[in-house]
């Protein structure tokens, strides 16, 4: 069964529908490549997928370990190559991890390793530099 359906809307814009859920996203070409930059570009989604996938895999492991990372945030920076062909050269993923209590260095290293094993990280071309940075903070009690 197909995963998604994509319709070209014209003006360098697409509409993608996730077939299982019906959720839709719009992509737009970036302003530095003839687009309006009014939505994620396809390469933005690729970079964003790396951060989302890494956090999801860490969340799966954390659930098993009974650790709650709720409230953690990620900032993703995509760097395009300066020379042709146009491609993603580097993705920097900055994790601001919220934990319920102070984690040992050993546990932190476990989650850093887990992040690097997410399916997106393992699927990207090896020429794309992947940089993961982590900052760990104990969450304030609610």
Structural domains of the chain in order of their starting residue, each with its CATH number: 4-33 (no CATH), 42-138 (3.30.300.20)
The pLDDT of residue 142: 63
Tokens of 140: 């304030």
Tell me which residues of the chain have a pLDDT lower than 50.
Answer: none
The pLDDT of residue 52: 98
Distance of CA 31 to the CA centre of its chain: 21
Tokens of 106: 């050993």
The pLDDT of residue 140: 77
This prediction's pTM:
0.93
- H or E element: which one contains 65? helix 42-65
């Amino acid at each position: 069964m197909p995963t998604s359906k994509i319709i070209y809307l014209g003006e360098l814009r697409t509409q993608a529908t996730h077939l299982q859920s019906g959720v839709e996203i719009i992509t737009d070409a970036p302003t530095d490549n003839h687009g309006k930059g009014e939505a994620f570009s396809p390469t933005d989604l690729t970079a964003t997928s790396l951060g989302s996938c890494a956090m999801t895999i860490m969340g799966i492991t954390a659930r098993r370990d009974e650790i709650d990372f709720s409230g953690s945030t990620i900032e993703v920076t995509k760097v395009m190559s300066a020379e042709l062909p146009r491609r993603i050269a580097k993705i920097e993923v900055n994790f601001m991890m919220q934990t319920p209590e102070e984690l040992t260095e050993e546990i932190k290293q476990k989650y850093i390793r887990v992040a690097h094993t997410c399916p997106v990280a393992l699927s990207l071309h090896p020429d794309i530099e992947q940089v993961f940075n982590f900052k760990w903070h104990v969450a304030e009690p609610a």
